[in-house]
């Protein structure tokens, strides 16, 4: 599964046939397209082109779908647009899921959480912590069942936030968080090879602290996301955050880096 995730992260347009071919050609592993499809469903990844299969990036038919509001929109200020997504992380012993919210203008990661289950609760906790920091004008997500859930979509409108959802099968509508996943995996996950959820949590706390406060971003004139988001060189206090975070054996909760 980790190999499939690496190939897909490099190019999210790849489907089961292409991924299976790359694995056979480049890694000399005999694998069929149907087995690749089964593993893609298991880890919740879906190519850009529309698919018939149901996975976590597909909506629950009973939930409301909101229009995509970002087409042609000039992003000119912080808290104008936030977006969220879930990605899979392979561990030495099992796997887990990472969900995050990013501010489009500054690239600042507002909040994130880690869980070894795909329940809705870890998404709700991430959302609540993000809104404790600030309120965006538009909140964008894909049409996955987590983000179309009435529990998840109830909070933004109550705060005057417009809800936006990507076109079906078009993950690049949420391009900034897709780029974030590439950065997280290429610069941390694939290098560190975490053994457990707890170890992954500790590593990602350090990674996001560096990402938000120390890593210059070309797209924002080589400033850090924190410098752009807060308008000054404000840095996080990760150890203080750790002390107020709650976690159990099933879910690791992470406080926003503010």
- 65 falls within a domain: no
The domain total for the chain is 2
**Quick one: 137 and 228 in the same domain?**
yes
Query: What string of pLDDT tens digits covers the 258 residues of the chain?
Result: 678 777 776 666 677 788 888 888 888 888 888 888 888 777 666 664 443 333 445 555 678 899 999 989 999 999 999 999 999 898 988 889 999 999 999 999 999 999 999 999 999 999 999 999 999 999 999 999 999 999 999 999 999 999 999 876 555 577 899 899 989 998 999 889 999 999 999 999 999 999 999 999 988 999 999 999 999 545 543 433 333 343 333 344 444 443
**Quick one: 138 and 33 in the same domain?**
no
What residues does 129 pair with on adjacent strands?
none
- 48 falls within a domain: no
**Quick one: 85 and 175 in the same domain?**
yes
Do β-strands 94-103 and 81-91 pair in parallel, antiparallel, or remain unpaired?
A: antiparallel
What residues does 115 pair with on adjacent strands?
97, 251
**Quick one: 92 and 138 in the same domain?**
yes
**111/187 Cα distance (integer angstroms):** 19
The residue range of the domain holding 178 is 81-252
Q: Do 157 and 163 meet the contact criterion of CB atoms below 8 Å apart?
A: yes
- 49 falls within a domain: no
**The domain spanning residue 240 has which CATH number?**
3.30.420.10
**What is residue 78's predicted lDDT score, i.e. its pLDDT?**
97
- 56 falls within a domain: no
- 71 falls within a domain: no
pTM: 0.72
Q: Where are the alpha helices (DSSP H) in 163-255?
A: 175-184, 190-192, 197-213, 225-230, 238-244
Number of neighbours of residue 191 by Cβ within 10 angstroms = 9
| Cα 155 → chain centroid | 19
- 140 falls within a domain: yes
**Quick one: 18 and 109 in the same domain?**
no
- 64 falls within a domain: no
**Quick one: 29 and 112 in the same domain?**
no
**Quick one: 139 and 11 in the same domain?**
no
**Quick one: 106 and 211 in the same domain?**
yes
What residues does 112 pair with on adjacent strands?
100
DSSP of 88-121: EEEETTEEEEEEEEEETTT--EEEEEEESS--SH
**Quick one: 230 and 127 in the same domain?**
yes
- Joined tokens for residue 147: 């983000």
**45/38 Cα distance (integer angstroms):** 11
**Quick one: 85 and 186 in the same domain?**
yes
**Quick one: 240 and 167 in the same domain?**
yes
**Quick one: 86 and 39 in the same domain?**
no
- Joined tokens for residue 172: 């690049």
């Amino acid at each position: 599964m980790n190999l499939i995730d690496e190939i897909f992260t490099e190019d999210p347009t790849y489907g089961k046939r292409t991924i299976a071919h790359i694995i056979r050609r480049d890694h000399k592993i005999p694998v069929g397209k149907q087995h690749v499809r089964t593993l893609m469903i298991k880890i919740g990844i879906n190519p850009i082109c529309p698919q018939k299969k149901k996975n976590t990036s597909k909506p629950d038919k009973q939930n409301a779908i909101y229009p995509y509001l970002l087409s042609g929109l000039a992003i000119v200020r912080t808290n104008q647009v936030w977006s969220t997504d879930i990605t899979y992380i392979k561990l030495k012993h099992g796997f887990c899921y990472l969900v995050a919210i990013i501010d489009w203008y500054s690239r600042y990661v507002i909040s994130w959480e880690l869980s070894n289950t795909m329940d809705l609760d870890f998404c709700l906790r991430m959302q609540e912590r993000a809104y404790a920091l600030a309120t965006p004008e538009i909140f964008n997500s894909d049409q996955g069942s987590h983000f179309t859930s009435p529990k998840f979509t109830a909070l933004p409108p109550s705060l005057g936030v417009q809800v936006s959802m990507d076109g079906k099968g078009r993950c690049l509508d949420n391009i900034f968080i897709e780029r974030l996943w590439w950065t997280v995996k290429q610069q941390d996950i694939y290098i560190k090879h975490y053994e457990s959820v707890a170890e992954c949590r500790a590593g990602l706390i350090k990674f996001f602290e560096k990402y938000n406060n120390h890593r210059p971003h070309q797209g924002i004139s080589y400033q850090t996301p924190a410098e752009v988001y807060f308008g000054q060189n404000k840095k996080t206090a990760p150890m203080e955050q750790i002390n107020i975070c709650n976690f159990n054996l099933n879910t690791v909760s992470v406080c926003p880096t503010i």
